[in-house]
Structure 1
Amino acid sequence: MGVSNYCKTFEKLNSIEKIILGVVIKFDSKANELINILGTEFNLDLSKEHPFSKLITCQNDLWKGSLPDNWIYQFHGSHCRFENKINNQILDIKINGGINYGIFNSSTLLWFIETTKEWKDVYKKIKVNEILTECLTTLEQENYIIDIGEFGYKSLIINNI
């Protein structure tokens, strides 16, 4: 889905907010793609409540490893960190959010932007976390993204409604 046709009120956003929305869409797409690769690689039923339980146990060495296309993964707490060995792109994905793996917060999104070569100019503009936080607040107020977090912890996702 292209950024320009994502929402009816797209013109309400300023240029950096539009860029950040595009980054959020890319994050969501890449996160779900990597989780599906992981699921296929280990024959996981991603529709189950805890599909990663056999990978995150300390009794085996599956909590970290390699995937096709030069990706490595490592489970930590309620997240899985993916890193591309060629371009060093990093996605840190929350794995306990049901079937949506595009959950992010300002820190994980900033890390994704910082490690994605095509967004070096974006990173220079928003490397101060407050700028990204302001953009995310606007995107949330305009209902492009929603917070599904609990206990005051931001867990943001694209609003697909």
Structure 2
Amino acid sequence: MTHGPRLTRRGGVLLASLLSAALVVGCSGSQDKGKPPENKSRTPDSAPSDQMKTLQKKAERALGIEEDGADSDLFVESGFERVNDGIHTRSALSKGESYSLSVVCSGRGTVQVTVTAERSVERTVTCDGVPVRQRITDAPAEMKIDVDGLPGSSGIAGWRIDELGA
């Protein structure tokens, strides 16, 4: 006489655990009654991402940064962020040296740039892809850079710090 597969006690516990997990996962979505379920198979909209890539490339060109990094021996550091996210960074510098800070915004609207070295300096920058520069003389050991988008602004903001040669 042949018997079909036999469920052992250990197998039964495992099966019960898997079924419980499947029920929890399957029932964990919260939907309001009376509303149709969301269509989760939407195609992602790549236009904003492509547009941001284009704006970042424009900002990189404006700051003189190649895709593989800056090519100058005087280059210190740089970075890019979405205007909506803002830039909030602290840069380590050689105390007493002189630097050039360049900030660019590509997109639309304006951003508020605040540079805190020995004192804070604020400046409004238009998101037209044209970099603005600020000379930092007798630099502190650390400089804080904040770039915040003003209402209605969008795009990419970038910054670059170069040491000024002697």
**TM tier, shorter chain?**
under 0.3
Q: Which has the higher strand share?
A: 2
Please tell me whether Structure 1 or Structure 2 has the larger radius of gyration of its CA atoms. Answer: 2
Relative to the length of structure 2, the TM-score reads: 0.22
Q: Which has the higher helix share?
A: 1
Relative to the length of structure 1, the TM-score reads: 0.23
Structure with the bigger RCO (C-alpha within 8 Å, sep 6+) is 2
